[in-house]
Chain A
Amino acid sequence: MLKYVIKRILMIIPVVLAVSFIVFFIMDFVPSDPAVTALGDGATEEQLEYYRETHGLNDPLVVRYVRYMGGILHGDMGTSYANNQQVWDLFFAKFPNTLRLAVASVVVTVVLSIPLGVIAAVKENTWVDTVCSTLSFIGLAMPNFWLGLLLIMLFAVNLGLLPSTGADGFASLILPAITCGTGNMAALTRITRSSMLDVLKQDYLRTARAKGQSESKIITHHAFKNAQIPVVTQIGIQMSTLIGGAVLTERVFAWPGVGAFLVDSIQKSDFEVVTGFVIMLAIFVSIVLLIVDVLYAFMDPRIKAQYARS
C-alpha cells in the first residue's frame, strides 16, 4: 500500500514536467514581448534589447525551460512583469483563498447532493425522484454570477447578515461557497443516483434484509458503502476544477483567489505569472487525484488488495 502511494507520488513528476513544458512552449508562441510589458510602450529599442539580454529572453527555448525549472526547485518562478513581485509569493498569497473556497464549495455540494441522489435512487421513478433531480438542477440552471448577485442582495444588502465581498473569516466564505457549490450539485446528484441504482439491485442487500436489518441501515451501511467510488471520483474532479479557480464567483464576491488573478494576468500579458500559476495548479490537481486514488483503497478492500500487489 505504502509502496503504491510512493509510486503514485513519483508519477506526478513526469506529469508536471510535461505540463510545464507544454505551457512554456505555448507561451513562447504568444505574440507579445515581455520586455514591452515590463518597460512600457515608451521604451527605446536599446532599452528593450538590454532588458531581453539581462533577463535571458534571447536564449533558446530549451535553455530557458531548464533554467526556469531549476528555479522552481528553489522556490523561484521569476518575477511578475506587471508589478515586479515574486510569482512564487503571489501564488502562495492567492492559493490558500482558492483552496478554502474550493473545499467549502465541495462541502456544500456533497452535503446537498449525496442525500438527494440517494433518496432519488431509493424512490426511483416516483415523484420524489423527480423532485430531487429537479432540485439538483436548480444550481446548474442559475448562472453563477446571477445567483451570487441575488445572494448578495438578500443576505448582504437587505438583511445585512453576511459580508458581500472579501475574504475575512468564515462569514465571508458562506455566500461564495453556496454560489459555487450549488452549481456542481446536478452532476454529483446524478452520479450518486446512478451509482446507488446499480448497488440497490445487488443480491447482498437481500442478504442483509433477510438478516432482519432495517431499510435505512441497509441503504446507509450496506448500499452506500458500495456506491462511494464513482461519487468520490466526481468529487475529485469537481475539486480539481475548483482549484483552477472559480473565476466568476471570485469576480462577483471580490474573492482574492487564483482564478480571477490568472485571468487578469493573461489580459495584462504577464506571462511569467501565467506560466508559474499553471504549473503550480497542475501540481495541486495531481495531488488531489492522488488523494482520490488512495481513498479508493479505503472504500473497497478489493482495490486495496490490487494496490498491494502492484
Chain B
Amino acid sequence: MKLNGKNGKSDTNLEQIREKTDLAVSVENLVVHYETSSETVEAVNSISFSLKKKRTLGLVGETGAGKTTAMLALMNMVPNPPGRIIEGEIRVNGLDMRKLTPAQLQHVRGSEIAMIFQDPMTSLNPVLTIGEQIGESILLHRNISKAEALKETQKLLERVGIDPERYGEYPHQFSGGMRQRVGIAIALACNPSVLIADEPTSALDVTIQAQILQMMRKLKEENDTSMILITHDLGVVAEMCDDVAVMYAGHIVEYGTLEEVFNKTKHPYTEGLFNSLPNINNRVEKLQPIQGLMPDPANLPKGCAFAERCPYASEACRENPPETHSFSDTHLAACTAYQDPDFRIGRNK
C-alpha cells in the first residue's frame, strides 16, 4: 500500500479499518436496485464472488445482465438516484467500500481500484487534453509536482503505445483504439492493485481488439494487478481469465475456474452461450441462438429467471428460486435440475 497520497490523514484511517485478507475483492450477497417512481429495476440480485490476488476473473453475460452495475457497486459508484445498493458487503483489499467516507472513497478510487470503460469515444472528456486527463489521476493520488506528473504521464503514454509527445492533444485527435489506450493509461496511472475492465474492446475493430487485450495482459503481469474483465465474448474469456462468473438477470448462475466452466459446463444458460457460438469448422451450419429474451429486470419471475428459455425447465423451476449446487470447491451452478443426481446437460460444442 502506498502511503504517499495527498490525503495523508485518510491514509492512516484506511490502514486502521483495513482487514487482513488474501483476497483482492470479495463480494457477499450484493443487491443493487434502480428505483424510479414507476418501477424498481432489480439489476443485481444477491451475487457473491471473490477475486484472488493477481488473478483475472471473467464476468460473462448478455447486455442488461447487471455486469456493469455490479462493478460500479464495487467502486461504490452506482449512480444515485436512481441506483441504490440495497444490501451486501463489498471489500476491496480488505476495505469495506460501503462504510468508507466520501473522502476515503475518493482516495481508494484510482489508487487501489480503477476501471477501464466500455466506450472510449464517450469516456474521455472532449475539452481536456489526454495529458491533463492522465495527469489528473497522478496528481490526485501522488504527492508530486506538475512537472513530475507530466513526466509520469509521458512514461505511461509510452507504455500503452502512444507517442509521448502527443500528451497535449485532445481525444478527438485519436482513433477509437488509441483512445482506449488513453483510457487504460488513466486506469493504470497509479498502479491500482485491482483493475476492472468493462468490455474494453467491444467498441473496437476486431484487429485492434487483439492488440489491446495483449497489451492489457502484459501490463497486468508487469504490475501484479488483479483484474475483473467484463465481456460477452467467450473467446476473450478463454484468452485472458483464470476464473469465470456467468451472470444472467442479475444473478451469478455459474461460477468456477476457466477449466471448470468451459470444459465441465453445468448451467443450461452457459451451455446455451457455448451452443450459440458459430462453428468455425462447419461454416454452413446454422447458428443456434438461445430462444427468447432475458426477462425484464423490472419484472422478474418468482422462480428461475432462465426457466422460460431453458430446455430442461420443469414446473419446480418456475415456482421456486434455483438452488445452488457445488461441484467442486470452486465450481458452483444455480440450477434446480441438479436435484436429480443423474441430470446432465448436453453441450454439443
A146 is an interface residue with CB less than 8 A from chain B: no
Considering the complex, which residues of chain A in the window 200-222 have a beta carbon less than 8 Å from any beta carbon of chain B? 202-204, 206-215, 222
A98-123 contact mask (Cβ, 8 Å, vs B): 1 or 0: 00000000000000000000000000
Whether B126 lies near A212 (C-beta < 8 A) is no
B contact residues around A301 at 8 Å (CB) = 126-127, 170, 172
B105-136 contact mask (Cβ, 8 Å, vs A): 1 or 0: 11111110011010100111111100001001
Whether B107 lies near A212 (C-beta < 8 A) is yes
CB closest chain-A residue, reference B103: A214
Whether B126 lies near A209 (C-beta < 8 A) is no
Size of the chain A interface, CB-CB below 8 angstroms: 21
Query: What separation, in Å, do the CA atoms of A305 and B133 have in the docked complex?
Result: 20
Query: What separation, in Å, do the CA atoms of A210 and B75 have in the docked complex?
Result: 8
Indicate the member of A211, A213, A300, A302 with the most B CB atoms within 10 Å.
A211
Query: What separation, in Å, do the CA atoms of A208 and B123 have in the docked complex?
Result: 9
Query: What separation, in Å, do the CA atoms of A12 and B35 have in the docked complex?
Result: 54
A225 is an interface residue with CB less than 8 A from chain B: yes
A contact residues around B110 at 8 Å (CB) = 210-213
Indicate the member of A204, A214, A226 with the most B CB atoms within 10 Å.
A204
Query: What separation, in Å, do the CA atoms of A21 and B111 have in the docked complex?
Result: 66
Query: What separation, in Å, do the CA atoms of A97 and B248 have in the docked complex?
Result: 69
Whether B122 lies near A226 (C-beta < 8 A) is no
Whether B106 lies near A213 (C-beta < 8 A) is yes
Whether B126 lies near A207 (C-beta < 8 A) is no
* Given A226-B126, A301-B170, A305-B172, also A207-B117 (CB < 8 A): yes
B contact residues around A210 at 8 Å (CB) = 75, 77, 109-110, 114-115, 117, 187
Whether B122 lies near A212 (C-beta < 8 A) is no
Whether B125 lies near A207 (C-beta < 8 A) is yes
B256 is an interface residue with CB less than 8 A from chain A: no
B contact residues around A204 at 8 Å (CB) = 122-126
Query: What separation, in Å, do the CA atoms of A209 and B105 have in the docked complex?
Result: 10
A contact residues around B336 at 8 Å (CB) = none
CB closest chain-B residue, reference A214: B106
Whether A212 lies near B183 (C-beta < 8 A) is no
CB closest chain-B residue, reference A301: B170
Query: What separation, in Å, do the CA atoms of A33 and B260 have in the docked complex?
Result: 100
Whether B128 lies near A225 (C-beta < 8 A) is yes
B contact residues around A135 at 8 Å (CB) = none
Contact pick for B140, options A213, A226, A302, A305, CB 8 Å:
A213
Whether A206 lies near B77 (C-beta < 8 A) is yes
Query: What separation, in Å, do the CA atoms of A208 and B136 have in the docked complex?
Result: 9
Contact pick for A211, options B102, B119, B140, B172, CB 8 Å:
B140
B141 is an interface residue with CB less than 8 A from chain A: yes
Size of the chain B interface, CB-CB below 8 angstroms: 34
Indicate the member of A209, A210, A215 with the most B CB atoms within 10 Å.
A210
Whether B127 lies near A202 (C-beta < 8 A) is no
B188 to chain A, nearest CB (A): 11
Whether A211 lies near B183 (C-beta < 8 A) is no
A221 to chain B, nearest CB (A): 8
B186 is an interface residue with CB less than 8 A from chain A: yes
CB closest chain-B residue, reference A202: B122
Tell me how many residue pairs across A and B have CB atoms closer than 8 Å.
78
Whether A207 lies near B183 (C-beta < 8 A) is yes
B contact residues around A299 at 8 Å (CB) = 127
A contact residues around B170 at 8 Å (CB) = 301-302
Whether A212 lies near B123 (C-beta < 8 A) is no
CB closest chain-B residue, reference A226: B127
Query: What separation, in Å, do the CA atoms of A215 and B140 have in the docked complex?
Result: 13
B contact residues around A302 at 8 Å (CB) = 126, 170, 172
B contact residues around A208 at 8 Å (CB) = 125, 136
B225 is an interface residue with CB less than 8 A from chain A: no
Considering the complex, which residues of chain B in the window 59-114 have a beta carbon less than 8 Å from any beta carbon of chain A? 75, 77, 79, 102, 105-111, 114
* Given A211-B136, A300-B126, also A203-B117 (CB < 8 A): yes
A contact residues around B102 at 8 Å (CB) = 214-215
B137 is an interface residue with CB less than 8 A from chain A: yes
Contact pick for A207, options B107, B123, B127, B172, CB 8 Å:
B123
CB closest chain-B residue, reference A228: B127
Query: What separation, in Å, do the CA atoms of A302 and B124 have in the docked complex?
Result: 14
A209 to chain B, nearest CB (A): 6
CB closest chain-A residue, reference B72: A206
A225 to chain B, nearest CB (A): 5
Query: What separation, in Å, do the CA atoms of A225 and B128 have in the docked complex?
Result: 9
* Given A207-B183, A301-B127, also A212-B111 (CB < 8 A): yes
Whether A209 lies near B123 (C-beta < 8 A) is no
Whether A211 lies near B123 (C-beta < 8 A) is no
Query: What separation, in Å, do the CA atoms of A207 and B126 have in the docked complex?
Result: 12
CB closest chain-B residue, reference A215: B102
B71 to chain A, nearest CB (A): 10
B37 to chain A, nearest CB (A): 10
B229 to chain A, nearest CB (A): 16
Interfacial residues, chain A to chain B (CB-CB below 8 A): 202-204, 206-215, 222, 225-226, 299-302, 305
Listed from nearest, the 6 A-B pairs whose CB atoms lie closest are A212-B110, A212-B109, A203-B122, A301-B170, A211-B110, A204-B125
Instruction: Known A-B contacts: A211-B186, A213-B110, A213-B140. Give 8 more (CB < 8 A).
Output: A203-B123, A204-B122, A206-B117, A207-B183, A210-B117, A213-B136, A222-B128, A299-B127
A sample of 21 cross-chain residue pairs with beta-carbon separation below 8 angstroms, ordered by A number, consists of A203-B119, A203-B122, A206-B77, A207-B133, A207-B186, A208-B125, A209-B77, A209-B109, A210-B110, A210-B115, A211-B110, A211-B189, A212-B106, A212-B107, A212-B108, A212-B141, A213-B106, A226-B127, A301-B126, A302-B126, A305-B172
